[in-house]
């Protein structure tokens, strides 16, 4: 089976969907529950949770520092750079475990 290799624009595959396609606003149950509880509690517990995270980070807890950084600045994007020789192009095989009928 002959397939056309994907084209890339920068480090992103052209035409590929961006972001988590399974995380639509309707599917964010956790977020909805936390928001509902926060409103019901007048945000008091949510403030205590945020304060506890802040205090842990201030004490030097690395995971708390990372979580605060991710929440404040956004998670760092992972960059993957694949390079190759123009005369000897890379071959990428995607193994899915799904039998496509070819032998």
Residue 50: DSSP 8-state: H
Both tokens of residue 30?
């956790």
pLDDT at 62 over 90: yes
101 located within any domain:
no
95 located within any domain:
no
Both tokens of residue 101?
């009928």
Q: What does the pLDDT look like over 3-52, one tens digit per residue?
A: 555 555 554 555 555 566 666 767 778 888 888 888 888 888 889 999 99
Overall average pLDDT of the 61-77 stretch: 88
Phi, psi values for residue 8, rounded to 5°? -120, 140
Domain extent at residue 46: 27-75
- Domains in the chain, number: 1
56 located within any domain:
yes
* Residue 53 · residue 68 · CB < 8 Å: yes
What is d(CA 96, CA 11) in angstroms, rounded to the nearest whole number? 23
50 located within any domain:
yes
pTM value > 0.85: no
């Amino acid at each position: 089976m002959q397939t056309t290799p994907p084209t890339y624009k920068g480090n992103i595959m052209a035409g590929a969907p961006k972001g988590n396609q399974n995380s639509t606003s309707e599917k964010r149950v956790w977020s909805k529950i936390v928001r509902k509880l926060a409103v019901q509690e007048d945000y008091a517990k949510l403030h205590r949770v945020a304060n506890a995270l802040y205090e842990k980070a201030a004490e030097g807890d690395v995971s708390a520092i990372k979580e605060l950084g991710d929440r404040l600045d956004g998670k760092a994007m992972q960059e993957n750079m694949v390079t190759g020789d123009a005369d000897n192009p890379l071959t990428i095989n995607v193994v899915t475990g799904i039998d496509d009928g070819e032998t």
